[in-house]
Amino acid sequence: MAHKLVIVESPAKARTIGGYLGSGYVVESSIGHIRDLPNNAADTPAKIKDKPWGRLAIDVENGFEPYYVVPRDKKSHISKLKQLLKDADELFLATDEDREGEAIAWHLLDELKPKNIPVKRMVFHEITKAAIQEAAANPRELDMDLVEAQETRRLLDRLYGYEVSPVLWRKVMSGLSAGRVQSVATRLVVDKEKERMAFRAASYWDLEGTFDAGSKHDQRMFPAKLHTVDGTRVATGSNFGQDGQLKAGRSGKADVVHLDQRRAEALASALADTSYDVRSVESKPYRRSPYAPFRTTTLQQEASRKLGMSSSVTMSVAQRLYENGFITYMRTDSTTLSGNAIAAARSQVSELYGSEYLPDAPRTYASKVKNAQEAHEAIRPAGDSFRTPAQTGLTGDQFRLYELIWMRTVASQMKDAVGQSVTIRLGGAAASGEDVVFSASGRVITFHGFLKAYVEGTDDNAAKDDQETRLPNLAEGDPVSAASLSANGHETKPPARYTEATLIKELEDRQIGRPSTYASIISTILNRGYVYKKGTALVPAWIAFSVTRLLTEHFERLIDYEFTASMETVLDDIARGEKDRVTELTEFYYGSERLQGLQPLVTGLGDIDARELATFPVGSAEDGIDLRVGKYGPYLEGPDDGSGTRVRANVPDDLPPDELTVDKAKELLANPAGEEIELGTHPESGLPVVAKNGRFGPYVTEVLPEDAPKKDKPRTGSLFKSMSLDTITLDDAVKLLALPRVVGADPESGEEITAQNGRYGPYLKKGTDSRSLTSEDQIFGISLDEALKIYSQPKHRGRAAAAPPLKELGNDPVSGQPVVVKAGRFGEYVTDGEYNATLRKDDSVEAITLERAAELLAERRAKGPAKKAAKKGAKKTAAKKTAKKTAAKKTAAKKTARKS
């Protein structure tokens, strides 16, 4: 039977809407985007692979034509949609009403190719029966200008990410990434750390006292702080700048009095016998309105403050609540509640708190988000009447998050909190002649309103909205005495580091990122190693300083904090049909008279000095200390003493950049050995033996006395793979230091045969003739006979025998040669004896067939015969391998260092 096919983005939404539309409609979901630019070479269509722009999948030479593909995991879903479309007599594209949703609708149309049936665009902003039925009755056409705007966004992000990232691979480190969003997020964290590094603390003193209003007051004792001395304000933290100096006042000079310890204490003793009277009582009404209902970012912030959840945990708990029908959609930038939701919230207010807490008219909340697309409602309990947390039967994190959402939603429809704020000034005369004024502040809330249901958390130690401080009911002229008085020292604090939640807030304020990506932005900068977490604080790694420096020096416009906001302006113009995609992308990529293009910028970067980029002076030029970001992590270089070599020392990975002061750097340089483990004294040489981590992995070495001649080199030996810095003993070390071991002499030539470990693993050496060994244990265990046997065989055969094929597949249809799978230095590969082809990411030894192997070999053959690799290339590869090993072992070494 024929039906109308409705396609929405989310399966959970499809279920709900299916119920509202009834029979005659089949509601399915697209599960997000159904097509995209290919991710990597494996997904790129063969016909564009060899184009100069194949890697981008955008024909930058012809109108920025994109080449979209349906990702592997979406193919079966597309078939399912096509199947449903066969029996449909009408198609409703009901994806979200925002830029991405419009694009998904167009991709669906372009991919499903419905024939001879009407296609309508259907939109709604809330999932209620009335809204859905109205949307079905009033469809519109696809907005191609909006689709163009989305494509511009998508292509610009691809060009930015896939052109700039390779610059980082060449100049900083392989595997890094740059992008419109992540690079700015990283920059925010780096810039904050720079502020902290430049920060100079100021110290200031003040007087704090407890005052006594007398026995006729219920609230007798209350605290007050010194406010003025002879009519001049006493300096507090906010009077100091980041440089530790007093900020200038209106007159151009500081118009406050800065108390130091001596003066504060002198004043305190001069006030020992002072009596005070009330100089003024100022009372102001206090009023606070409820917070808007949750959107993604505010939910993430509050879940972090109140429940200690990371942004990704918050989102996955919310996802489960959404899928099970407890809350509305959790990725939204809207604070709007549907009419049904307002009614539900209001009825719960009167039910739970009484009608005196209910405002006469419903409250509405305008969006504070600048580029809000408002495709969804605010995040709220689902349904036309809300379940209280107890009624849900939820437990654990889901219960706590639901409770938070429920409370916030209900509170948003409650009355303001009102009360009084009171400031009391007390005056007195010091024995030394000064006139002093103390100040006390209080707050009394007379009607709690929404605060009864919900109080927002704070990131710093600001007073909470519902906090009350009661003061005695004093009048001007009343006498007051000081019960106690003390001089206290304070220091100004550097600006706080970002947390996940405050960074996300900052990004939202700057219109960077979208609700669906905030949590993953954090994951990206954590995974790339740009940032790490120390408690909840986000600390930048030194490599983030290098990357941010490269981008700010060479891609200034792209990493500008305003870049995304100005892009949004252009996209809006395109969406209104006032600008066009190709013109904008051409300007972005190739440049124009007023703007430098990305492409000429990237190709002209050969002369970036990678070494300089990774060098950061510590302290002043006189200190001569540099921090450098190397392949193996950050290290310090001491002053050049003219010897030609500078002292080097590792910087612990978890030392925050703002703690690397000149003193700390000198301390690290004084012990350049870094993390080393003392194993004992060598029984023969009498020298101390230590184990440490080096460029080529963990090793043991003797420590020469300080007065030893410089040309003396200590003996060293790499640990075997079977050993670790955690478990190495002095005995092991002595054995390793004794290498190479003399196995014996060749009876024919008399040449000595030795066994040792080298760059390519364990091997035997006889003069210039070397042979690999299969295991490290053979270095200690192999006998002369066995060694001679190895030497009796030609070099190559021994190696081939050592690596039998992992799998035999049969004969190649082209060459007729047997095809086998082997494990090689670069991973698993197939070979027909002449050509070798590495298995791709999606291939496996278990799953590979002869057909697939033949395909890979055919591709390989097309590239021509194997080139003889240059010596340089081979060396580089080997160094890379070692580097990986080093990194892997580094953590192990650290653990040991801590234990001891």
Partner DNA sequence: CAGTGAGCGAGCTTCCGCTTGACTT
Residues 399-428 that bind DNA (CB under 7 A): none
**Residue 449 within binding range of DNA, rule CB under 7 A:** no
**Residue 880 within binding range of DNA, rule CB under 7 A:** yes
Q: How far is the CB of 45 from DNA (least distance, A)?
A: 14
Nearer residue to DNA within complex by CB, 502 or 701: 701
Nearer residue to DNA within complex by CB, 491 or 855: 855
Q: Is 883 exposed, middle or buried (0-12, 13-18, 19+ CB in 10 A)?
A: middle
**Residue 837 within binding range of DNA, rule CB under 7 A:** yes
Nearer residue to DNA within complex by CB, 486 or 527: 527
Residues 34-93 that bind DNA (CB under 7 A): 36-37, 39-42, 55, 73
Among 28, 97, 100, 658, binds DNA (CB under 7 A): 100
**Residue 11 within binding range of DNA, rule CB under 7 A:** yes
Residues 450-509 that bind DNA (CB under 7 A): none
**Residue 724 within binding range of DNA, rule CB under 7 A:** no
Q: How many residues does the chain have?
A: 900
Contact 140, 123 (CB under 8 A): yes
Adjacent-strand bridge partners of 209: 224, 485
Q: How many Å apart are CA 648 and CA 637, to the nearest integer?
A: 5
Residues 518-557 that bind DNA (CB under 7 A): 521, 524, 528
Among 758, 767, 804, 813, binds DNA (CB under 7 A): 758
Q: How far is the CB of 397 from DNA (least distance, A)?
A: 17
- Which range of residues in 357-365, 416-424, 425-433, 754-762 is near DNA by CB under 7 A? 754-762
Q: How far is the CB of 392 from DNA (least distance, A)?
A: 20
Q: Between 311-323 and 296-307, two packed helices, what is the crossing angle to 10 degrees?
A: 110
Q: How many Å apart are CA 769 and CA 748, to the nearest integer?
A: 14
Rg (CA), the chain: 36
Catalytic residue among 25, 160, 276, 329: 329
* Strand residue runs (E) in 595-647: 615-618, 625-630, 633-637
Residues 554-613 that bind DNA (CB under 7 A): 564
Contact 697, 632 (CB under 8 A): no
Among 98, 143, 500, 506, binds DNA (CB under 7 A): 98
Among 200, 557, 713, 789, binds DNA (CB under 7 A): 713
Among 194, 247, 822, 852, binds DNA (CB under 7 A): 822
Residues 782-801 that bind DNA (CB under 7 A): 795-796, 799
Nearer residue to DNA within complex by CB, 365 or 632: 632
- Candidates 780, 728, 789, 721; CA nearest to 754 is 780
Among 61, 82, 169, 284, binds DNA (CB under 7 A): 169
Decide if 829 is catalytic. Answer: no
Nearer residue to DNA within complex by CB, 343 or 704: 704
Question: Mask of contacts with DNA, 672-701, x by CB under 7 A?
Answer: --x-------------------xxxxxx-x
Residues 844-873 that bind DNA (CB under 7 A): 860, 863, 866-869, 871, 873
User: Who contacts 504 (Cβ-Cβ below 8 Å, separation ≥6)?
Assistant: 297, 300, 301, 311, 513, 518, 521, 522
**Residue 897 within binding range of DNA, rule CB under 7 A:** no
Q: How many Å apart are CA 45 and CA 69, to the nearest integer?
A: 8
- Which range of residues in 173-181, 434-442, 444-452, 610-618 is near DNA by CB under 7 A? 173-181
**Residue type for 874, please?**
A
Nearer residue to DNA within complex by CB, 132 or 837: 837
**Residue 514 within binding range of DNA, rule CB under 7 A:** yes
Q: C-alpha distances in angstroms, 715 versus 144, 422, 650, 700?
A: 72, 76, 21, 8
Residues 610-639 that bind DNA (CB under 7 A): 630-633, 635
Nearer residue to DNA within complex by CB, 182 or 297: 182
- Which range of residues in 461-469, 549-557, 584-592, 714-722 is near DNA by CB under 7 A? 714-722
**Residue 766 within binding range of DNA, rule CB under 7 A:** no
Among 85, 295, 829, 843, binds DNA (CB under 7 A): 829
Among 772, 811, 815, 817, binds DNA (CB under 7 A): 772
Q: Is 621 exposed, middle or buried (0-12, 13-18, 19+ CB in 10 A)?
A: exposed
Structure-token match 């190696």, residue found: 799
One DSSP character per residue, 106-120 reads HHHHHHH---SS-EE
Nearer residue to DNA within complex by CB, 254 or 687: 687
**Residue 833 within binding range of DNA, rule CB under 7 A:** no
Adjacent-strand bridge partners of 223: 210
Q: C-alpha distances in angstroms, 882 versus 202, 211, 527?
A: 48, 70, 22
Nearer residue to DNA within complex by CB, 312 or 420: 312
Structure-token match 């950061």, residue found: 616
Peptide bond into 540 cis (omega under 30): no
Question: Mask of contacts with DNA, 174-193, x by CB under 7 A?
Answer: xxxxxxxxxx----------
Question: Mask of contacts with DNA, 315-334, x by CB under 7 A?
Answer: ----x--xx-----x-x---
Written in H, E and C, the secondary structure of 306-367 is: HHCCCHHHHHHHHHHHHHCCCECCCCCCCCCCCHHHHHHHHHHHHHHHCHHHCCCCCCCCCC
* Strand residue runs (E) in 512-614: 531-534, 537-540
What single-letter DSSP state applies at residue 247?
P
* Strand residue runs (E) in 339-478: 417-429, 435-447
Nearer residue to DNA within complex by CB, 128 or 886: 886
Contact 427, 230 (CB under 8 A): no
Q: Could you list the active site residues?
A: 329
